[in-house]
């Protein structure tokens, strides 16, 4: 049995991430459905209830809405985005090291400055002997995902009022928004879009790496 290609391994990894992302959205939706049923059960009784009964029902439902509207989606969507970007970076470095080995390149990715994404781009596009195809818009999208991930992981998703670049990223995407406190809100469709862009860049690099490899696979 032949070993899977680099591209097949990447597709398998991101298939799992997509499944996790879909399961998270299904979980959030199911909790909203349960809460709406609870609301429909109690709301008709409120018009004839005492103040004490009203407060009891309100205190039962309202905190759950707040948690579902803000806390749960943010925590769950952020966690899968952060883990997926970690997977992306780890795979990206492996691909570049595979190319280093296969083509006997003197410049090593670890010798370059910047974050992993910047190092990989310098490595792939800076060496004229590699002739790596141009993917400007794809690199830009992935760098935007990187910046969002960093803000979510290290600053609780809060965008500073001076951070005009991150604000433009948020306002320029249909599945992103800012809440009243300036916190990033990941919409329902953002993670699946992000996973697609991360996977697409890796697959482009993997095709290049496979062409440079005798066995077309990495471990």
Angle formed by the axes of helices 116-126 and 72-103, to 10°? 30
Q: What percent of the chain has pLDDT over 70?
A: 81
Band (146; pLDDT cuts 50, 70, 90): very high
Band (37; pLDDT cuts 50, 70, 90): confident
Give the global pTM: 0.83
What pLDDT, on the 0 to 100 scale, is given for residue 207?
Answer: 87
Q: What percent of the chain has pLDDT over 90?
A: 46
219 pLDDT above the threshold of 50:
no
Residue 32 · residue 40 · CB < 8 Å:
no
| Cα distance between residue 183 and residue 158, in whole Å | 4
């Amino acid at each position: 049995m032949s070993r899977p290609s680099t591209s097949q391994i990447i597709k398998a990894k991101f298939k799992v991430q997509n499944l996790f992302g879909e399961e998270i959205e299904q979980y959030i939706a199911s909790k909203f459905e349960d809460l709406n049923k609870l609301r429909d059960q109690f709301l008709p009784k409120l018009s004839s209830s005492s103040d004490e009964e009203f407060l009891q029902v309100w205190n039962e439902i309202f905190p759950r809405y707040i948690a579902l509207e803000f806390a749960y989606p943010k925590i769950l969507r952020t966690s899968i985005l952060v883990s997926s970007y970690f997977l992306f970076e780890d795979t990206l470095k492996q691909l570049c090291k595979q190319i280093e080995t296969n083509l006997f390149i003197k410049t090593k990715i670890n010798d370059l400055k910047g974050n992993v994404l910047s190092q990989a781009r310098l490595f792939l596009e800076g060496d004229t002997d590699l002739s790596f195809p141009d993917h400007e818009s794809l690199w830009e999208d992935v760098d935007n995902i990187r910046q969002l991930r960093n803000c979510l992981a290290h600053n609780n998703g809060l965008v500073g009022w001076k951070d005009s670049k991150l604000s433009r990223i948020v306002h320029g995407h249909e599945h992103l928004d800012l809440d009243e406190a300036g916190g990033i809100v990941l919409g329902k469709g953002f993670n699946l879009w992000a996973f697609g862009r991360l996977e697409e860049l890796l697959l482009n690099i993997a095709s290049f790496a496979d062409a440079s490899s005798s066995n077309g696979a990495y471990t």
